[in-house]
Structure 1
Amino acid sequence: MAISSAVSTDGAELTIAIKGRFDFSSHQDFRGAYENLDIKPHRYVIDMSDTAYLDSSALGMLLLLRDHAGGDNAKIEIKNTSTDVKRILTISNFEQLFNID
């Protein structure tokens, strides 16, 4: 499991890529990807193209990111989800909280 992040050149967008299993073992790495920045991006992209699995703790981590990013005003896109990952997000009604592609 690996989490990597990259800030756009203008500092407006943070992309966090999640590879492998997204579960409690990735909690510190995921939070570190957005909490330890010198700037606060306006948009967040969670790239799940290589995410094989997520559990309830991963859903909680996404909610913590949403709170950090501004709650109801947060601009967070979850993209490149597999069928299984998208089904978990949909069952959890996350499409009401995040833009899921």
Structure 2
Amino acid sequence: MSVRSEVDLESKRVTVYVCGAFGFNLIQEFKRCYTDKREYQFTIDLRQVDYIDSAGLGILINMQNYLEHEDGAIRLTNTLPQVRKVLAISRFDKKFLIE
């Protein structure tokens, strides 16, 4: 499986782990991780993502819109340099907290 999540019910936090290329093929798997969890805080761990395309970027924007979180409320962590570069070029540092 390329996407898995850990849910902490007590603190209302979800960590989503993505593995491999982050693109169109992960839409449904990724969406299942955040559907019906609008009151939760999210961290997306990208340590095992070696490539992200425009569909992957769109997945993140759709998540943010669905959750109705403000800019910077969703954390993207452990990004590899090539993924961080795509996020920077796409100005995702203005929409997400990138650590």
1:78 aligns with 2:63: no
Give the root-mean-square deviation of aligned CA atoms.
1.7
1:7 aligns with 2:7: yes
* Counterpart code for 2:65: D
5+ long unaligned stretches in structure 2: none
Is contact 1:20-1:51 (8 Å) kept?
A: yes
Is contact 2:16-2:33 (8 Å) kept?
A: yes
Q: Which residue does 1:98 correspond to in 2?
A: 96
Rounded to whole Å, the distance in 1 between the matches of 2:27 and 2:55 is: 8
- SS in structure 2 opposite 1:72? coil
User: In the TM superposition, what is the alpha-carbon distance from 1:100 to its structure 2 partner?
Assistant: 0.2
TM-score (norm 2): 0.91
Q: Which residue does 2:29 correspond to in 1?
A: 29
5+ long unaligned stretches in structure 1: none
Q: Which residue does 2:58 correspond to in 1?
A: 60
Rounded to whole Å, the distance in 1 between the matches of 2:71 and 2:88 is: 20
1:69 aligns with 2:63: no
Q: Which residue does 1:43 correspond to in 2?
A: 41
Deviations 1:66-89 (A, max 9, x none): 112214267200000000000000
Is contact 1:69-1:75 (8 Å) kept?
A: no
Q: Which residue does 2:19 correspond to in 1?
A: 19
